[in-house]
Amino acid sequence: MMTRTRYVVLVLATFVSIHFILSFSHEDYGRVTSFSNIASQFKGATGGPPYKAGIPAQYYQHDGVNETAPGERANAAFVVLARNGDLNGISSSVRQMEDRFNRKFHYPYVFLNEVPFSDEFKRRITNLVSGEVEFGLIPREHWFQPSWIDEEKAKADREKMGKLPIPYGGSLPYRNMCRYNTGFFYRHELVQKYRYYWRIDPDVNFYCNIDYDVYNNKTYGFTISLPEYRETITTLWAGVKEFIKENPELVSPDNAMDFLSDDHGETYNRCHFWSNFEIGDLDLWRGEAYSKFFDFLDHKGGFYYERWGDAPVHSIGAALFSRKDQIHFFSDIGYKHNPFSHCPTGEAYTRGKCWCDPNDNFDTNPYSCLKRYDKLF
């Protein structure tokens, strides 16, 4: 039996925590939980922040050895969209990124979520990284379905697609995520100070050492390319053609249309760069061409009436609004997001001390779009 005092304490504690959760999730929408204010939150409880605050990244040492690469750094950060429940998966990805690349470069990280990250999430991630890390909350108006979407129509499509063998065909949160990655992540206040980004997703593998700085004045870098599910983009290409017709001056000369289309733009071959890996120039997305393109597509409603992914829309944007030579294939970065891998071959495999199975390489799969990329040059 519970004593009266215990009961009162329990009721009070429940009230206080519910109140805390409610006030946090409402008032903090669109605001940022920065590195410094998280560190200060922990100070009282632990007698000192378990963060690397105050140690300039360039002096951070790995097991006592200074492995920091000399030279300048690009104005770049890792950008990670994740849920609290992705903690184990993203820890694995971040650990590999640190071991294979960032222990030498100490680039900062920005984590984004539409609900506040848990203290455990922040503590465990901060313990892994060798650069600064910030945790941001996504503003409500950047995440949820906009008011001008007809929910009845959207729901009908989710029900229809949910019956097909298409990943997340019936999911509304997945659609919010795709639209956010397509047109909003680069506008987040924590991302705004950066020019370049490297996207990292949960449960991916980085198989090889990357001993050079990857930021190279290109606009978009990829490792794997493949065709999109037809049913998720039924009307996307019609929208793209309409946009090009109305805004021919926004399309780049010497672009990569022939990666997207086998008939010079008449139809879409559904090839896209697999966007769970992206190294990119944020100014490509922030520029006039892509901004107008995203708004145009967004108002067609296909992120909800179909299930347009960030991968095809980014790929079409990168291909049309960059020169083809600004799109880079990172052939020497060994990478896997289930179920596909890119495994470097020959000398690059040895040099990078890769551990991927050389026979598990999507480049040689008949569905790979790499040959269309190669044909551009």
Ligand X SMILES: *[C@@H]1O[C@H](CO)[C@@H](O)[C@H](O)[C@H]1NC(C)=O
> Which of 354, 338, 234, 178 shows the shortest CA–CA distance to 362?
338
Least distance CB 103 / ligand X (angstroms) = 12
Among the residue ranges 62-70, 243-251, 270-278, 353-361, the one whose residues contact ligand X (CB under 6 A): 62-70
- Set 228, 278, 288, 306: catalytic member: 278
The footprint of ligand X on residues 179-218 (CB under 6 A) is 217
Cβ 38 to ligand X shortest distance, Å: 26
Site string for Mg ion, 170-209 (x = CB under 5 A): -------------------------------x--------
Give Cα 229 distance to the centre of its chain. Answer: 20
DSSP percent split of the chain into helix, strand, coil, nearest 5: 45, 15, 40
* 159 labelled catalytic: no
**How distant, in Å, are the alpha carbons of 46, 78, 120, 199 from that of 281?**
39, 12, 31, 11
Cα 314 to Cα 46, 189, 220, 302, distances in angstroms: 43, 21, 9, 14
Residues 258, 297: contact at Cβ < 8 Å?
Answer: no
Closer residue to ligand GTP, CB minimum distance, 86 or 298: 86
Query: What are residue 265's phi and psi, to 5 degrees?
Result: 110, -10
Total residues at the site for ligand GTP (CB under 6 A)? Answer: 12
Question: Which of the residues 58 through 117 are near ligand GTP (CB under 6 A)?
Answer: 81-83, 86, 113-114
Which one of Mg ion, ligand GTP, ligand X, none interacts with residue 59, CB within 5 to 8 A by kind? ligand X
What letter does residue 65 receive in the DSSP assignment? B
Residue 229: CA count within 13 A, CB half-sphere: 14
Contact between 228 and ligand GTP (CB under 6 A)?
Answer: no
Distance of CA 126 to the CA centre of its chain: 19
113 binds, among ligand GTP, Mg ion, ligand X, none (CB under 5 to 8 A by kind): ligand GTP
Subset of 266-325 contacting ligand GTP (CB under 6 A)? 276
Going by C-beta distance under 8 Å and a sequence separation of 6 or more, which residues neighbour residue 206? 93, 96, 97, 100, 101, 333, 334, 335
251-280 positions binding ligand X, by CB under 6 A: none
CB of 202 to ligand GTP, least distance (A): 5
| 90/370 with CB nearer ligand GTP | 90
Toward ligand GTP, which CB reaches closer, 162 or 167? 167
For 57, residues 6+ apart whose C-beta sits below 8 A from its C-beta are 106, 108, 130, 131, 132
- What residues numbered 40-59 form the site for ligand X, per CB under 6 A? 58-59
CB of 123 to Mg ion, least distance (A): 24
Q: How far is CA 190 from CA 2, 108, 109, 110, 142, in A?
A: 47, 11, 10, 7, 14
**Closer residue to ligand X in complex, CB, 67/141:** 67
Pairing of strands 133-137, 327-329: unpaired
Based on the shown chain and the rule CB under 6 A, indicate whether residue 68 belongs to the binding site for ligand X: yes
Binding site for ligand GTP (CB under 6 A): 81-83, 86, 113-114, 167, 173, 177, 201-202, 276
Catalytic residues: 278
